Amino acid sequence: MQDQAVAQIKRKRAVYLVLSTLSLLFLGLIYAFSMFAAPLCATFGLEKDAVGLTFNIMMIAFCVGAVIGSQIEGRLGVRGTLVVSATMFLVGFAGTGLLGYGSIGAVYGFYGVCGGLGVGIGYNTVIATTNVWFPDKVGFSSGVLMMGFGLSSLIFGTLSVNIAATVGLGTVLIALGAITAVIVVVLSLVLQRPPANVVELMAPEKAAGAGYDPGEEDKALKTPTFYLYWIWAVIVIAIGLATIGNCASDAQMVGLDAAFATLLVGFVSTFNGVGRVIVGMIYDKTNVKVTMLIDGLVAVAATVCIIGAFVTDISVLYIVGAFCCGFCYGGVPVVASAFARQRFGAKEYPLNLSLANFAIVFGSLLNVVAQSAVGGGANRLGVFAVMAALSVIAVLDVIPFSKRWSADMKMLEGKLAAHEARS
């Protein structure tokens, strides 16, 4: 009977992983904003600087949506929450396509707020629900799911921009909103939470204590380890956003032509997606401490290469740096997902995941502060000089984090042993 149950779970979770990745592939279109920015300016008659603010609004709404989604799920369940996500995404993209002409407020409200909320709600629900089916391979499942989210810009972003040149940007945005909504609703009809004994069946070595997980007793926001994680995540996210949000224009500044610069955005998205899978595998093979250190070192390499490109006009350095930025940025949500599950258990996983991902808000704000500190976003060399210094801080932050993490694991093991003794 147990073998049959294991086989059934493996079949179900494989289907869920495929469908969830497909849904995130479409929801990840929100990240294609750097591709949509220029067409938005040209088609809707909007100023470049004003349109650029949409990205920051969207990232903040994304994080807020993730927190909201964790609360909605407790009341409406997985299905109801995903329907809310689909509706918000449809309103966001279709509203932009219909009402964005000449109105930056409409772009902010629909694409930035509604679209960001819809993606945040859906992302958090999909990740939190699907990952629980993989207690034995949480890094792998997180990586695959987030690969879909990261590759969206390359696959659908590039395709959408090309089609927009023929049928119009407004039509494309409406179609994307409708198609994505349908796919997410279909997922909502299938995806469900795993049986209560999934850990016992799929990862018996982690099921000691008869389902008791001492990590569930801790509140993330009251744990020093969580804030040390946040410092690392905020910095790496800021580095990633500094690159992703300006990749096409920065590439042209170091001598790359406009066509290749646009294509480079897609390649960075590819490294973002591939990085998520690789980081997930590193997490499964090592631990959170090693994974954060490796990802932080890649961030250092990324900023050094980009600075070198601005100083020397050697475009290949920018390409390497941008790829490294895509990789390290993609690694953060994988670490967030696995970290939240391993440290704080499954009971409040949706909420803890949304809190871990809230680092995106502070990363976005840090990016804005870094630009202001050097006299504005146009001073790209200055921006990345600040980011390089911050990347070193992120690597150094892994030292106190590792000490706290080891202490936490020892404490949790002690609580688990005491529970077993009483049982």
Residues 135 and 201 in one domain: yes
pLDDT of amino acid 207: 57
For 17-29, b where at least 16 C-beta lie within 10 A, e where not — what string? Answer: bebbbebbbbbbb
- Does the CA dihedral 91-72-189-281 come out positive or negative? positive
The tokens describing 409, both together, are 């694991």
Of the residues 207, 229, 249, the one at which a domain ends: 207
Residues 171 and 303 in one domain: no
Cα–Cα distance, 315 to 306 (Å, whole number): 9
Residues 197 and 252 in one domain: no
Q: pTM of the prediction?
A: 0.79
pLDDT of amino acid 205: 66
pLDDT of amino acid 161: 78
Of the residues 207, 236, 253, the one at which a domain ends: 207
Cα–Cα distance, 227 to 224 (Å, whole number): 5
Residues 198 and 270 in one domain: no
Q: What is the CA radius of gyration of the chain?
A: 21
Please check whether residue 104 is in contact with residue 210, taking contact to mean a CB–CB distance below 8 angstroms: no
pLDDT of amino acid 32: 74
For the chain, what is the domain count? 2
Residues 157 and 300 in one domain: no
pLDDT of amino acid 189: 95
pLDDT of amino acid 211: 64
Q: What is the pLDDT along the chain (423 residues), one digit of tens a residue?
A: 577 788 888 899 999 999 999 999 899 887 777 778 778 888 888 887 788 788 888 888 998 998 898 889 888 999 999 999 999 999 999 999 999 888 999 999 999 999 999 999 998 899 889 988 988 887 788 778 877 877 777 777 778 878 888 898 899 999 999 999 999 999 999 999 888 888 777 777 665 544 678 999 999 999 999 999 999 999 999 999 888 878 878 999 999 988 888 778 778 877 877 888 888 889 888 999 999 999 999 999 999 999 999 999 999 999 999 999 989 998 998 899 889 988 998 788 888 988 998 898 899 889 889 988 998 778 999 999 999 999 999 999 999 999 999 999 999 999 988 888 886
pLDDT of amino acid 201: 79
Chain CA centroid to CA 314, Å: 30
Residues 172 and 277 in one domain: no
Residues 283 and 191 in one domain: no
Residues 191 and 49 in one domain: yes
Which DSSP letter does residue 203 get? -
The secondary element (H helix, E strand) that includes residue 401 is helix 380-422
Residues 195 and 324 in one domain: no
Give the domain extent around 19. 1-207
Q: Give the CATH number for residue 76.
A: 1.20.1250.20
Of the residues 167, 191, 207, the one at which a domain ends: 207
Amino acid at 12: K
pLDDT of amino acid 195: 86
Residue 404: how many CB atoms within 10 A of its CB? 17
Cα–Cα distance, 384 to 303 (Å, whole number): 6
Residues 231 and 175 in one domain: no
Cα–Cα distance, 108 to 103 (Å, whole number): 9
Cα–Cα distance, 251 to 257 (Å, whole number): 8
Residues 281 and 215 in one domain: yes
Residues 260 and 170 in one domain: no
Cα–Cα distance, 155 to 265 (Å, whole number): 11
